[in-house]
């Protein structure tokens, strides 16, 4: 992801990469004088904790795309949000963000007559199962009043699949499916750049992808009137 973010940023005139760091370099960079607007973290739980310290030290917004974060790291992120803008995004795709909205609406409108299951597929090297995105889709359903039990969330790890998620609503005589397929990792890299640019302009606090989508929609509406 780091390599793809750097490559995609080269196509964005308004974005400048100040530093690209691995875990061993970050501590030295924190002490340096570089000014930065936003830090994008796609590393590990330990790496995310270092990114928190960097964001607070640099007074920079922090976008964390790392999944399977520990409770300690999440608590550190919450504390950091008191002084900088923080957003934890298990998926930086606009399409997935919209899919979460649709899942919530479908769960609410279809009701308990419909069974719900989630199937997600990723490449064989992905560690966490179910994925952060699958959990986010399940949370959208739960927020709408329909809890999906863990045995109804299925994770497959096959080949080099970038990412696929399908939520199925099956009721009397009909089936509704909400599906998202990622065909390139650049999707997530470009999404992270767009989301990071937005986050850099936000006030300190805990921000969400949903807020970004709503803000984006409002801006598109204003520009079309």
Residue by residue, DSSP assigns 124-188 as TT---SS-HHHHHHHHHHHHTT-PPPGGGEEEEE-TT--EEEEEEEEETTEEEEEEEEE--THHH
Q: Go through the chain and tell me how many residues it has.
A: 225
pLDDT confidence of residue 221: 73
177 & 191 share domain: no
Q: What domain range is 137 assigned to?
A: 94-182
> Does one domain contain both 152 and 213?
no
Catalytic residue among 122, 135, 165, 207: 122
- Set 101, 123, 126, 165: catalytic member: 126
Specify the pLDDT at position 225: 64
Enumerate residue ranges in the chain where pLDDT < 50. Answer: none
Co-location of 78 and 157 in the same domain: no
178 and 98 part of one domain:
yes
* 58: annotated active-site residue: no
210 touches 23 (CB < 8 A):
no
Which CATH number is 149's domain given? 3.30.360.10
Q: Cβ-count burial of 164 within 10 angstroms (0-12 exposed, 13-18 middle, 19+ buried)?
A: middle
Number of domains observed in the structure of the chain: 2
* Cα separation, 210 vs 194, whole angstroms: 14
Q: What's residue 100's pLDDT? A: 94
Residues 157 and 194 in one domain: no
| 160 lies in the same domain as 203 | no
Q: How confident is the model at residue 12, as a pLDDT?
A: 93
Residues 170 and 64 reside in one and the same domain:
no
Looking at the structure, tell me whether residues 100 and 76 fall in a common domain.
no
pLDDT value, residue 220: 74
What per-residue confidence (pLDDT) applies to 23?
Answer: 65
pLDDT value of residue 161:
95
Residue 53 near residue 30 (C-beta atoms within 8 A): yes
The 10s digit of each residue's pLDDT in 159-195 is: 999 999 999 999 999 999 999 999 998 999 999 999 9
Residues 199 and 148 in one domain: no
State the CATH number of the domain containing residue 52.
3.40.50.720
173 Ramachandran zone, left/alpha/beta (phi>0; psi -120 to 50): left
Which tokens is 103 given? Answer: 């899942």
């Amino acid at each position: 992801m780091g390599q793809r973010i750097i490559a995609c940023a080269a196509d964005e005139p308004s974005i400048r990469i100040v530093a690209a760091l691995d875990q061993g370099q970050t501590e030295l960079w924190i002490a340096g004088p570089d000014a930065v607007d936003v830090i994008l973290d796609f590393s590990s739980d330990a790496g995310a904790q270092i990114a928190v310290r960097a964001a607070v030290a640099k007074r920079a917004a922090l976008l964390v795309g790392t999944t399977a974060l520990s409770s300690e790291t999440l608590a550190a992120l919450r504390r950091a949000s008191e002084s900088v803008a923080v957003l934890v995004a298990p998926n930086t795709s606009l399409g997935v963000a919209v899919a979460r909205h649709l899942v919530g609406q479908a769960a609410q409108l279809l009701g308990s007559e419909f069974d719900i299951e989630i199937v997600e597929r990723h490449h064989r090297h992905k560690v966490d199962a179910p994925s952060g995105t699958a959990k986010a889709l399940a949370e959208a359903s739960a927020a709408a009043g329909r809890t999906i039990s863990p045995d109804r969330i299925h994770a497959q790890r096959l080949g080099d699949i970038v990412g696929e998620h399908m939520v199925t609503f099956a009721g009397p005589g009909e089936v509704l499916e909400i599906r998202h397929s990622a065909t390139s990792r650049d999707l997530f890299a470009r999404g992270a750049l767009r989301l990071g640019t937005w986050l850099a302009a936000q006030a300190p606090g805990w921000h969400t992808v949903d807020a970004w989508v709503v803000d984006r929609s409002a801006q598109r509406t204003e520009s079309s009137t």
